[in-house]
Chain A
Amino acid sequence: MKLPAASANSRSAFAAPAWPRRAAFAPIALTVSIAALGFAVAGCVTINIYFPAAAAEKAADRIIEEVYQLRKDAVPAKPAEAK
């Protein structure tokens, strides 16, 4: 039931001899150009990030707490707590 329907479908899509070349090409070009636009827009979002102040503050606190040795859970600078 399924197979004949699929083959009938593909015949109508690919075996149509009367399709002009341009008409067959245009949708592909459109797809490619829209995909490229999508990448470009997404790329802009990813690349042009302003300075992430909150993230920098968080990173600074992590490092400073380790240097000042205020963190108990941090990766210790010395292997054992020798206090």
Chain B
Amino acid sequence: MTKQLFSAQLQLVLALLLAHAPLAAWAQANLEINTPAINGLKQAMAARHAQLAPHYVSGAVGIERDGTVALRDANAVPLPQRAAVSGLVGAENNDRTALYREIARANGKPEWEGEIRNTFALRWIDKAAPGWQVQNPQGQWVKK
């Protein structure tokens, strides 16, 4: 009787552990990035990218090693456009910061924001097109 009870308890504990295992595995395999806030930021950034792209190509705008964008050569932008490009750079950096915060929040881990930023910093540069200006880990501008 007692033996049966113990094996039933053991099975219950094992079942509980097993029931949680896929949840934990899923949480590690994927981050939640499908929320209205994240999608809104993504679309704003995609729309802005179309305006920034020619300046990446000219080298006026580059990607710094921390994953922010910077107006590194204002002289490469025609004078009438400089204020607008500067505004685009500022808005893009604000959206990137907001994006990292929203991803951390969507996953219930606000403390992950810094690590998410670090991950994105590497990936923004890795995914940059050939010819764009990016900073290497020492902070020097290099052409990809």
Which residues does A use to contact B, with CB under 8 Å? 27, 30-31, 34-35, 37-39, 41-43, 45-46, 49, 51-70, 75, 77-78
Contact = CB atoms under 8 A, between A and B. Distances in A.
6 contacts: A31-B12, A34-B12, A42-B17, A55-B30, A58-B30, A63-B99
B114 to A, nearest CB: 9
A53 B17 CA distance: 24
A46 B31 contact: no
B123 interface: yes
Most buried by B among A61, A63, A75: A63
A35 B27 CA distance: 24
List the 4 closest A-B pairs by CB distance, nearest first: A77-B46, A38-B13, A42-B20, A38-B16
Contact of B33 (A27, A35, A42, A62): A62
Interface in B93-136: 99, 103, 112, 115-116, 119-120, 123-124, 127, 129
Contacts of B72: none
B37 to A, nearest CB: 13
B79 interface: no
Given A34-B12, A46-B27, A77-B46, A65 B119 contact: no
Contact of A35 (B12, B31, B39, B46): B12
B19 A67 contact: no
Nearest to B124: A64
Most buried by B among A52, A61, A66: A52
B68 to A, nearest CB: 14
Most buried by A among B13, B19, B21: B13
B70 interface: no
A48 B87 CA distance: 41
